[in-house]
């Protein structure tokens, strides 16, 4: 069974079909068109969990717990909203008013009125429950639409945030470079270039009296102006495009927040729930009052007045929930139109984001302005680097020379000559490798002893003073941009100077200092002790061999332990994988439990509806029992009437018997007279015999009539008794069922 819900008004269509039936129709759109009449091109279908349902994933419908399909009609977004509302407008399904003015027999009329009021109240309550269920489905459809919009907006927002971080930094950098262009030109025009950086022709010109070159001489202000204009246009274009995209994304976020707020506004839905609760109370009250009205001892007029009052209130509740239903339909249509507008705007954002990202990655002329901005720092850093390299070369050669002097004092050649003269050649076998040359160090410095520039630390100090003077100039002129640029350069150059000053400390960490005389004596003593150390080394080697064997055994033990650890690790990994699988299973179970909870809630609603139906059936059964009790009362009256008729028949029989006795007496008298008159004539005897025969026939007819009357009366009385007993048994059974509590 597939349940199709029309999202705009919550109308439900129950279709006895399966996924195979949907596929057999030729597609989901064709199936929806056949079942609910929606155009194939206008249908948008979603599952109850928010997933879009298409022909590609139609089998997901089979795995859904409730098999609900929420269908949105795109045509409703194009039509005039008033026309759509007129089409979806719902009128309150009020039942005809109950006419209680006709005068009839009071007990029968009161029971009929009670039954009519109870039946009408139940029908009104069923309509209210149906509208509440329709509102619930509309709210669920709006949540699905809002959830899909939030997902799309979140995806666009994350993409934009990834681009915006780099874009904002780039725009700030561009604005900073454009703002500080004039200040950079002014600063480099005040920094003189050292003559050693100049060409020979320029040096000769300076020696001839020309002014010394400054950094600004290497930059064309006219070309930089052109670059500035081009970069300004590029910056404004990127800034405008970024602002438009950012505004569109923010508008999209605000729209999604507004849609979420509208969907979360369930005031009308809460009012509808209140109407349903009041309707349930009215139904219970009317049912109780109708049951009381059927009692003969009840105050009929008061109860009828109460029933009329609550019936009017119940009708008002039906009208109110119908009004809430129409208002919520209007709210749903407005929300869906807003979502459609946001989706249309959202479609244009991915190309705009791609174009914006590509624009920021495109190479621009800002590299020239960046180079201009870094020119002051680059010049000063170059001077500091030249001086640092000279310091490094000087320290390096000094440390290398100290190492050579230390190693030259080791008298290895003399010791080998003593060995050769005293020991070598005395063994009966050849000793290879004993004639190898003495180890030496070949130190060949590269890089040239003379540097290309004659800069010293004093030149760096003079350059730093120039930077300080630039700071003072910028501060006195009130140029905050120039002051910020000069201070930034000053801080960076101080870091370079600190590194240069710590150069010697670095050499102290990686090279030994030059040996002193005390150290030379210590080295000599160490050389003398070397022989003793070599002798001790043999003993140590033996110990090392033993330790090596022990360590090899330990290694084997550790390897075995490592194998065991690897096996336990594999077991732990398997256990971890199993736990992860169990975690996924638990998560899936939690999701299925969530779905089951929603199904149980829906079943709870269905059970509530069933309980309401059972209450209706009980009310109807109660009215039927009341009718049967009335019929029993009528049968009792008929029985009493039959008994009265039976008494009358008995009296009639008695009168007939009396008449028969009189007839017998008259007959006896007549016979006596006939006997007396027999003598009068023989012909009278024949008359007497005929009279006797006639008398016997009359007597027999009277007996047969009497027995037939007795039989008919007894059969009628037994039939009435049986009918009364059957009705009494049925009434007692109905009362027992009604008195049993509802579980």
Give 3-state DSSP helix, strand, coil % of the chain, rounded to 5. Answer: 80, 5, 20
Flag whether pLDDT at 705 surpasses 80. Answer: no
Q: pLDDT per residue over 564-603, tens digit each? A: 777 777 777 777 777 777 776 677 677 666 666 776 777 7
> What is the rounded distance in angstroms from the CA atom of residue 653 to the CA atom of residue 648?
8
Query: Which residue is listed with tokens 């439990």?
Result: 593
Q: pLDDT per residue over 266-309, tens digit each? A: 888 888 888 989 988 988 888 888 777 766 666 777 888 888 88
Q: Are 77 and 332 in contact (CB under 8 A)?
A: no
Strand order in the sheet with 2-6: 12-15, 2-6, 68-73, 43-47, 52-53
Mean pLDDT of 714-740: 74
Q: Are 149 and 339 in contact (CB under 8 A)?
A: yes
Q: pLDDT band at residue 444, thresholds of 50, 70 and 90? A: low
> What is the rounded distance in angstroms from the CA atom of residue 320 to the CA atom of residue 316?
6
Structure tokens at 327: 């208002």
> What is the rounded distance in angstroms from the CA atom of residue 497 to the CA atom of residue 489?
12
> What is the rounded distance in angstroms from the CA atom of residue 247 to the CA atom of residue 244?
5
CB atoms within 10 A of CB 508: 12
Q: pLDDT band at residue 244, thresholds of 50, 70 and 90? A: very high
> What is the rounded distance in angstroms from the CA atom of residue 33 to the CA atom of residue 42?
10
Flag whether pLDDT at 28 surpasses 80. Answer: yes
> What is the rounded distance in angstroms from the CA atom of residue 76 to the CA atom of residue 329?
12
Mean pLDDT of 718-743: 70
Mean pLDDT of 687-696: 75
Q: H or E element: which one contains 67?
A: none
> What is the rounded distance in angstroms from the CA atom of residue 396 to the CA atom of residue 398?
5
Structure confidence at residue 679 (pLDDT)? 62
> What is the rounded distance in angstroms from the CA atom of residue 550 to the CA atom of residue 546?
6
Q: What is the mean pLDDT of the chain?
A: 79
Q: pLDDT per residue over 502-530, tens digit each? A: 776 666 555 544 444 455 555 566 666 66
Give the residue among 230, 317, 331, 319 at the shortest CA–CA distance from 280. 317
> What is the rounded distance in angstroms from the CA atom of residue 47 to the CA atom of residue 135?
18
- The proportion of the chain whose per-residue pLDDT surpasses 90, expressed as a percent, equals 3
Task: Quote the radius of gyration of the chain (alpha carbons, Å).
Answer: 59
> What is the rounded distance in angstroms from the CA atom of residue 491 to the CA atom of residue 471?
12
Q: H or E element: which one contains 632?
A: helix 517-678
End-to-end CA distance of the chain: 28
Flag whether pLDDT at 223 surpasses 60. Answer: yes
- Torsion, Cα of 413, 416, 417, 421 (10° steps): 180
Query: Which residue is listed with tokens 């003379």?
Result: 450
């Amino acid at each position: 069974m597939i349940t199709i819900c029309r999202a705009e008004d919550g109308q439900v269509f129950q279709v006895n079909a399966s996924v195979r039936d949907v596929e057999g129709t030729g597609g989901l759109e064709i199936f929806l068109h056949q079942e609910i009449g929606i155009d194939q091109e206008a249908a948008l279908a979603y599952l109850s969990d928010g997933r879009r349902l298409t022909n590609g994933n139609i089998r997901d419908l089979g795995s859904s717990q409730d098999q609900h399909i929420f269908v949105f009609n795109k045509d409703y977004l194009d039509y005039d909203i008033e026309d759509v509302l007129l089409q979806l407008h719902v009128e309150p399904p009020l039942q005809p008013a109950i006419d209680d003015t006709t005068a009839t027999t009071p007990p029968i009329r009161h029971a009929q009125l009670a039954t009519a009021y109870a039946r009408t109240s139940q029908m009104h309550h069923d309509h209210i429950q149906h509208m509440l269920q329709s509102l619930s489905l509309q709210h669920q459809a709006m949540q699905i639409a809002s959830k899909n919009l939030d997902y799309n907006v979140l995806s666009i927002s994350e993409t934009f945030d990834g681009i915006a971080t780099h874009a904002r930094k780039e725009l700030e950098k561009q604005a900073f470079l454009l703002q500080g262009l004039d200040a950079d030109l002014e600063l480099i025009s005040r920094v003189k270039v050292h003559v050693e950086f100049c060409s020979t022709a320029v040096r000769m010109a300076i020696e001839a009296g020309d002014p010394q070159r400054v950094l600004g001489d290497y930059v064309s202000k006219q070309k930089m102006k052109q670059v500035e204009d081009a970069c300004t246009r590029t910056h404004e274009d990127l800034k405008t495009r970024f602002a438009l995209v950012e505004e569109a994304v923010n508008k999209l976020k605000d729209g999604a927040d507004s849609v979420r707020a509208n969907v979360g506004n369930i005031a009308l839905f809460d009012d509808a729930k209140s109407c349903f609760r009041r309707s349930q109370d009215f139904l219970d009250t009317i049912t109780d009052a109708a049951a009381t009205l059927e009692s003969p001892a009840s105050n009929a007029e008061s109860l009828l007045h109460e029933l009329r009052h609550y019936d009017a209130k119940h009708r008002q509740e039906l009208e109110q929930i119908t009004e809430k239903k129409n208002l919520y339909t209007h709210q749903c249509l407005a929300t869906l139109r807003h979502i459609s507008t946001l989706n249309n705007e959202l479609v244009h954002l991915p190309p705009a984001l791609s174009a914006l990202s590509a624009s920021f990655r495109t190479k621009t002329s800002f590299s020239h302005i960046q180079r201009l901005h870094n020119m002051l720092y680059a010049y000063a850093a170059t001077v500091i680097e030249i001086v640092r390299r000279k310091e490094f070369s000087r320290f390096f050669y000094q440390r290398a020379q100290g190492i050579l002097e230390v190693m030259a004092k080791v008298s290895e050649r003399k010791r080998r000559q003593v060995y050769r003269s005293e020991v070598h050649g005395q063994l009966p076998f050849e000793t290879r490798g004993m004639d190898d040359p003495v180890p030496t160090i070949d130190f060949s410095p590269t890089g040239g002893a003379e540097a290309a520039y004659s800069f010293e630390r004093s030149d760096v100090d003079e350059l730093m003073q120039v930077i300080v003077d630039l700071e003072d100039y910028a501060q006195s002129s009130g140029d905050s941009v120039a002051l910020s640029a000069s201070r930034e350069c000053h801080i960076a150059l101080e870091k370079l100077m600190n590194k240069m000053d710590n150069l010697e400390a670095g050499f102290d960490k990686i090279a030994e200092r030059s040996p002193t005389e005390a150290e030379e004596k210590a080295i000599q003593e160490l050389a003398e002790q070397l022989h003793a150390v070599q002798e001790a080394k043999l003993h140590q080697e033996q110990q090392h061999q033993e330790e090596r064997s022990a360590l090899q055994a330990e290694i084997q033990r550790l390897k075995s332990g490592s194998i065991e650890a690897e096996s336990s690790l594999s077991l732990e990994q398997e256990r971890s994988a199993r736990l992860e699988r169990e975690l996924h299973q638990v998560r899936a179970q939690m999701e299925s439990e969530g779905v089951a909870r929603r199904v149980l809630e829906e079943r709870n609603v269905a059970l509530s509806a069933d309980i309401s139906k059972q209450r209706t059936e009980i009310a109807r059964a109660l009215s039927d029992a009341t009718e049967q009790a009335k019929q029993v009362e009528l049968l009792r009256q008929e029985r009493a009437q039959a008994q009265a008729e039976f008494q009358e028949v008995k009296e009639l029989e008695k009168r007939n018997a009396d008449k028969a006795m009189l007839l017998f007496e008259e007959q006896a008298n007549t016979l006596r007279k006939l006997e007396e008159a027999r003598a009068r004539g023989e012909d009278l005897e024949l008359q007497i015999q005929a009279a006797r025969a006639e008398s016997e026939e009359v007597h027999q007819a009277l007996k047969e009539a009497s027995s037939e009357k007795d039989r008919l009366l007894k059969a009628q009385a037994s039939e009435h008794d049986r009918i009364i007993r059957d009705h009494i048994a049925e009434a007692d059974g109905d009362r027992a069922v009604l008195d049993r509590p509802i579980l």
